Amino acid sequence: MTATADPAQHQHGASGEMSHRQILTILAGLLLGMFLAALDQTIVSTAIRRIGDDLNGLSVQAWVTTAFLITSTLTTPLYGKLSDIYGRKPFFLLAITIFIAGSALCGLATNMYMLAAFRAFQGAGAGGLASLALAIMADILSPQQRPKYMGYFMGVFATSSVLGPVVGGFLSGQDRILGVVGWRWIFYVNVPIGLVALIVVTKFLRLPGRSNPQRIDWLGAALLVVGLVPILIVAEQGRTWGWGSLAAVACYVVGISGVIAWIWVERRMGDAALIPMRLFQNKVFGYGSAFSLVIGAGMFGGLGSLPLYLQIVKGASPTEAGLLLLPLVLGMMVASTLAGFATSRTGRYRRYPIAGSVLLIIAMALLARLQAQTSLLEVDVYMLIFGVGLGLSMQTIQLAMQNAVSPRDIGVASSSGTFFRAMGGTLGTAVFLSVLFSVAPGKISEAYSQAGATPAFQQAVAAHPDQLKTVTQASGSLNDTAFVSGLDKTIARPFLQGFSSSIDVVFIAGAVVLVVAFVLSLMLEEIPLRRTSGIEAARAAEESQDEDAVR
């Protein structure tokens, strides 16, 4: 890899080191980009019903989120590989530009199919925002320095996960803002934020140029699409179709065949592969990728179930449910920040994913004790523990994977961590919600059977005979739970208890999955953190190659 002269070498010093102020300025642009990508994964969720009603297409609303998910996941490894070949900055700027354009187009959509297409285009930009931001940090900071700053990334990720439903609910609840329908601002608000990120990165980020020509693995990219698109689609739509339906089985067959073909091609492509198979021989990278997959499943499984508990069982609005998740965000931010400073000071990091995994298992076990009458204070404590576990785990694994590979593979390592976590989140959410809605009807029926023998319930049914019929008809599919708010409290209580018991089953399943993460964390090898940035390490490697060539 050849580095060309860059004016930044005069600005930052011959060693390429940057001042804390320069790092924070660049960090601001990177964080804005990452904030946009993370926010748009959740902001549409609370607004989709309003959008579907306005565009007369509620029946196809799932494709609006599925389209974004597919393209953002699939483009992540492609951005990582191309940035290793041609440099980070141009592809980060490209990702921001695509995201801004996609956001503006989404705001102009006039039907749901158009919106889904524009969301797919928007997702193609989002796929590069988070992974390339982390790769750029690896370029300008050594692994020893990086943990102090990675806490900011965890804070942005956690905050956006909570703000998404809150902002989406607020904007979609407004009839018009500045003469524009409220829900369209969910997309338009990305434009000015993205432009600020674009300006900051363009002006202040200076990275050495790269000239590392090699074949681009377009066949591998195509086969990755063939393999993962059916899997992602069935993960999102399987509960609606039925997991054993003809459409689901077709997705399984095509997806598995595509993944097998992709692995075969990647092995033949060698270093030019999208994700070179040799990296999985590196135990830290291999175990880190598996850990990211499992943590993604556990994290998004929990984050998907908690809002349902808060909204359906506790009666919170989508906006209130988002705000009630703040203890989880606080736990993530504090734990990741403290772990980051400790890692920078000591150079030791293996202990944090181990401790984080244990806390996640404990939190899941505690959340499995939730009942309809559990106080919100108790729920807050459990969410805080869950957040601390995530804060200790996620950024440390990313750091370990980046530290374990050579500078030429930092982009692939960064994108792989993001990619596997996203895949785990998608699959985990699909499986956990499928378990929830499969178990719920039986649990609710059981709760009503037990309540039926009590005098208070019998009196309530006698006073409102139509309400019990409504519950019986609705609890079979659970497509709409809005009717619960209109029920007599005595008649509603068994429904809430049954639904809460169903969520407990999900948390138990999540705890079992996270035991796998704990085992993987024990197998993680601790490699001493490098004290040189990616740029410095690459320059040293190039100088060594030049000296060898002269000899």
Q: What is the pLDDT of residues 501-521, one digit of tens each?
A: 888 988 998 899 999 999 999
Which domain range does residue 310 map to?
291-410+431-453+462-535
> Which of 216, 245, 263 is at the close of a domain?
216
3-state secondary structure 24-65: HHHHHHHHHHHHHHHHCCCCCCCCHHHHHHHCCCHHHCHHHH
Q: Is the pLDDT of residue 353 over 60?
A: yes
Statement to judge: residues 321 and 439 lie in one domain: yes
Q: Is the pLDDT of residue 3 over 50?
A: no
**Residue 242 belongs to some domain of the structure:** no
How high is the pLDDT of residue 445?
84
Choose the weakest-confidence range: 163-172, 178-187, 374-383: 163-172
Statement to judge: residues 398 and 311 lie in one domain: yes
Statement to judge: residues 192 and 301 lie in one domain: no
DSSP state of 111: S
pLDDT digits (tens, 9 = 90+) for 91-140: 999 999 999 999 999 999 998 889 989 999 999 999 999 889 888 888 88
Q: pLDDT grade, residue 192 (50/70/90)?
A: very high
- Mean pLDDT, rounded, for 331-356: 88
Neighbours of 21 (CB within 10 A): 8
Contact 69, 430 (CB under 8 A): no
Report CA-CA distances (Å) from 364 to 302, 372, 379, 386, 513. 8, 17, 11, 7, 10
Choose the weakest-confidence range: 64-68, 83-87, 149-153: 149-153
Q: Is the pLDDT of residue 8 over 70?
A: no
Neighbours of 471 (CB within 10 A): 18
Q: C-alpha angle 510/131/119, rounded to 5°?
A: 80
3-state secondary structure 510-546: HHHHHHHHHHHHHCCCCCCCCCCCHHHHHHHHHHHHH
List the CATH number of the domain containing 404: 1.20.1250
Q: pLDDT grade, residue 537 (50/70/90)?
A: low
Choose the weakest-confidence range: 311-320, 419-428, 448-457, 471-480: 471-480
Backbone angles phi, psi at 211, to 5 degrees: -140, 90
**Residue 173 belongs to some domain of the structure:** yes
Burial 192-219 (b: 16+ CB within 10 A, else e): ebbeebbebbeebbbbbebeeeeebbeb
DSSP state of 454: S
How high is the pLDDT of residue 290?
93
Neighbours of 322 (CB within 10 A): 27
Burial of 225 (0-12, 13-18, 19+ CB in 10 A): middle
How high is the pLDDT of residue 397?
87
Q: Is the pLDDT of residue 10 over 60?
A: no
Per-chain mean pLDDT for the chain: 83
DSSP bridge partners of 176:
181
Q: pLDDT grade, residue 366 (50/70/90)?
A: very high
How high is the pLDDT of residue 4?
40
Q: Is the pLDDT of residue 11 over 50?
A: no
Which bin fits 317, alpha (ψ -120 to 50), beta or left (φ > 0)? beta
- Cα separation, 444 vs 451, whole angstroms: 11
**Residue 256 belongs to some domain of the structure:** no
How high is the pLDDT of residue 357?
94
List the CATH number of the domain containing 159: 1.20.1250.20
